[in-house]
Amino acid sequence: MGKVVGAALLAHVPTIMLPQDVRYDLNDGKEISLVPGLKRLREEVMETLDYDTVVVLDSHWATTVEFVISAQAERSGLFTSEELPRGMSQIPYAFRGDPELANAVANYDEKNGTWVTPISDPHLPIFYATVNLWHYLGRGLDKRWVSLSVCQTATTEDFLRAGRALGEAIRDSDRKVLLLASGALSHTFYKLRDLRRHESSDPSHIFSDGAREADLERIEWMKQGDHKRILETMPEFKKFKPEANFSHWLQMAGATGEEANTAKGVLYSEYENSIGTGQVHVYFPEPEGGFPPPKDVTLSRDDANDAPLAEAGAA
């Protein structure tokens, strides 16, 4: 029987890939905490935890009619970002995939009222929400890495259902899996002519006081292990446009028991700004007794008022 052995909400912002002197120049002469945070997470978790496969819940990989999970035996190449090629250019990546686990997830999608399709096409694009984290956390460790997309027509309930399917596939496998929810909290950028005045990591530069307060509130709930409260207040949080409708965190929640999960988050960075958006690293160690199993889906649940990502405004 497989299990989730750890989970994390991690920032993947382009800033972490810039040279140190550029990062210092953008941040009032000091380092952003996200970089040493990833290095510490590698030393304390990635290099010590007993796991076989990393599944990245990739908030930058937007699909439309289904969730897609990468099913290649291996992925390698050079990554240049279409969004910010100046900062992310020809980054080498090379890692094993996990076709067995990826294909297994599709066996649980219909049961959970959703659609998850494994794709093994070697030309399938990869996104920096995966590459940036692998660059810091995966190089040289020879672990399997898999990415799961965010479906841009999905609702909160759909993200949870995809997470449940993933969680069931893990449970019925022989894999020990580490989940990385790759994405931000609140996610509104400053406009182009203003954003260069807001590149410092200081949270005073978060786009609005309301967004900063909502982010800090949820970080505190994560530290307390109150995942139930975060789920219950998703409609309020969506007013502050969390990245990809917080799909990455919701998929992680679906795979780890949702409101039954009481794993307490450990901060691996400070709460930081990135041109208006809220960024943080939070790691959730496996609680005593393990993460709760995914819940049975309720197919009659009414989420008609839960706006899909395409309507709510993706970023």
Q: What is the mean pLDDT of residues 57-70?
A: 98
Beta carbons within 10 angstroms of residue 118's beta carbon: 17
Question: At 299, is the pLDDT very low, low, confident or very high (cuts 50, 70, 90)?
Answer: low
Query: pLDDT digits over 157-180, tens only?
Result: 999 999 999 999 999 999 999 999
Domain count for the chain: 1
Residue 166: CATH number of its domain: 3.40.830.10
Quote the distance between the C-alpha of residue 128 and its chain's center.
Answer: 11
Rounded distance, CA 250 to CA 57, Å? 9
Query: pLDDT digits over 195-243, tens only?
Result: 999 999 999 999 999 999 999 999 999 999 999 999 999 999 999 999 9
Residue with tokens 């994405």: 183
Written as one string, the DSSP assignment of 25-37 is HHTTTS--THHHH
Q: Is the pLDDT of residue 304 over 50?
A: no
Question: At 277, is the pLDDT very low, low, confident or very high (cuts 50, 70, 90)?
Answer: very high
Rounded distance, CA 211 to CA 182, Å? 19
pLDDT (0 to 100) of residue 308: 52
Angle at 44 between CA 276 and CA 261, to 5 degrees: 70
pLDDT (0 to 100) of residue 298: 56
Residue 280's domain comprises 3-312
Residue 56: which of 161, 145, 157 has the closest Cα? 145
- CA-derived radius of gyration, the chain: 18
Q: What is the mean pLDDT of residues 84-93?
A: 96
Quote the distance between the C-alpha of residue 72 and its chain's center.
Answer: 20
Residue with tokens 């709460």: 271
149, 71 Cβ separation under 8 angstroms: no
Q: Which helix (H) or strand (E) holds 78?
A: strand 74-79
The CA-to-CA distance between both ends of the chain, in Å, stands at 37
Token code pair at residue 215: 């982010």
Query: What share of the chain in percent tops pLDDT 70?
Result: 94
Rounded distance, CA 251 to CA 161, Å? 8
Cα dist. 103→35, 68, 125, 173, 219 in Å?
33, 10, 18, 11, 33
Residue 246: which of 198, 214, 292 has the closest Cα? 214
Question: At 312, is the pLDDT very low, low, confident or very high (cuts 50, 70, 90)?
Answer: very low
Question: At 67, is the pLDDT very low, low, confident or very high (cuts 50, 70, 90)?
Answer: very high
DSSP 8-state assignment for residue 287: P
Q: What is the mean pLDDT of residues 143-150?
A: 98
Poorest-pLDDT segment among 4-18, 146-160, 276-290, 292-306? 292-306
pLDDT (0 to 100) of residue 306: 58
112, 68 Cβ separation under 8 angstroms: no
